[in-house]
Amino acid sequence: MKHLTEYRDGALVRRVLDDITRESTRPAVLMEVCGGQTHSFVRSGLDRMLPETITLVHGPGCPVCVTPLEVVDRALALARRPEVIFTSFGDMLRVPGTDGDLFSVRAAGGDVRVVYSPLDAVTIAAENPDREVVFFAIGFETTAPANAMSVAEAKRQGLPNYSVLVSHACVPGAMRAILGDSHNRVQAFLAAGHVCAVMGYHEYPPIAREFEVPIVVTGFEPVDLAHGVLTAVRQLESGRAEVENAYGRVVSEVGNVEAQVLINEVFELGDRVWRGIGMIPASGLHLRDAYRDFDACARFDVGAVHSEESARCIAGEILQGRRKPTDCAAFGTECTPENPLGATMVSSEGACAAYYRYERGPVCAGRVP
């Protein structure tokens, strides 16, 4: 397919890898922010083809993985209510809460439905005026426009039975938190191309200047990823710390202005808890006062929620680039996609899921994926 196969050209990838090997003269730690990029690196084996000077670590770029455990537990409580039709994207159904997941709630009789668009949830609300319809609005800036549109549309239609459980994360705040941590070892970022397609990359230059790290907007195919690494290496080798766009066919500096207007109409920026990491200032989206009537947390009293993470899960350290999935003693044994201890193993963008699926680590050797 045009504009796809050429970005999977093995010969071109090899030429870029040769450039990286030739030009990389010192050790460097690069973090890809996006979980989709993590899976592309591991699936293609590109991470193993890089020279020994380059170390890739995986960032908190999986929205399912960083959804706070307390929010997951609140979702379970809402989904168990008999008057509620709980709607969600499918990748949230197996995310473990303190006591079960949405899949087990549905198996026990809860009305939990998978939708492919938040507007589908609005339609369900319109078709079921005697039921409360809650949509699990998670994601980064990428899904924020559609989620904002669903709230605006429910308000336009006058649907009093529609609400959203919001868990939106914003990438720039997380990047600042990682770089400002005393244990940080990240020297350059490969920024998430799909987030920048919506938001642009005008927010990143102050981060690059403040922390003196290159930030390269990068796509998802092997040629994109290799080119992103090469661009970051060239900056590090020359002592530069700038923002460069290596995904120009999709991303512009300003991004999708219309989508940003819609996001800013419905949501406002605020502090947010990231699962496995903790509170990060100015890293989440919350409903504005004008749309507070559509806030599921304000509408339903589910009582006190007691959340408790698995003591055996090291997902927080993985999400901050401190450790790899195979550093976890439970990886592939106590923790598998069928019985996950944390969201990084069950999410389609989780680093642990990528390592398990593509047989990284001795416990996966010879296993049928």
Global confidence as pTM = 0.91
CATH architecture of 1-311: 3-Layer(aba) Sandwich (3.40)
Give me the pLDDT at residue 366, please: 46
Q: What is the mean pLDDT of residues 103-112?
A: 96
Distance between CA 105 and CA 111 in Å, rounded? 8
pLDDT band at 290 (very low <50, low <70, confident <90, very high): very high
Amino acid of residue 205: P
How many residues in the chain?
369
Give me the pLDDT at residue 369, please: 42
Give me the pLDDT at residue 2, please: 60
Q: What is the mean pLDDT of residues 244-267?
A: 97
Cα–Cα distances in angstroms (integers) from residue 280 to residues 74, 178, 181, 277, 284, in the given order: 20, 10, 11, 8, 8
Distance between CA 241 and CA 66 in Å, rounded? 28
Query: What angle do helix axes 257-266 and 144-157 make, rounded to 10 degrees?
Result: 60
Domain ranges of the chain: 1-311, 315-360
Give me the pLDDT at residue 342, please: 87
Q: What is the mean pLDDT of residues 165-175?
A: 96
% residues pLDDT > 70 (the chain): 95
Give me the pLDDT at residue 5, please: 76
Please determine, for residue 3, whether its predicted confidence score (pLDDT) is greater than 90: no
Token match 């642990």: residue? 352
Q: What is the mean pLDDT of residues 251-275?
A: 96
Residue 151 phi/psi, 5-degree rounding, is -70, -45
pLDDT digits (tens, 9 = 90+) for 72-98: 999 999 999 999 999 999 989 989 888
Cα dihedral sign, 138-43-193-352 = positive
The two structure tokens encoding residue 235: 């900056």
pLDDT digits (tens, 9 = 90+) for 128-152: 999 999 999 999 999 999 999 999 9
Task: Mean pLDDT check: name the lowest of 116-130, 141-155, 310-324.
Answer: 310-324
pLDDT digits (tens, 9 = 90+) for 343-366: 899 888 899 999 999 877 665 554
- Exposed (0-12), middle (13-18) or buried (19+): which is 242, by Cβ within 10 Å? middle
Q: Where is 30: in which H helix or E strand?
A: strand 28-32
Residue 314 contacts residue 174 (beta carbons within 8 Å): no
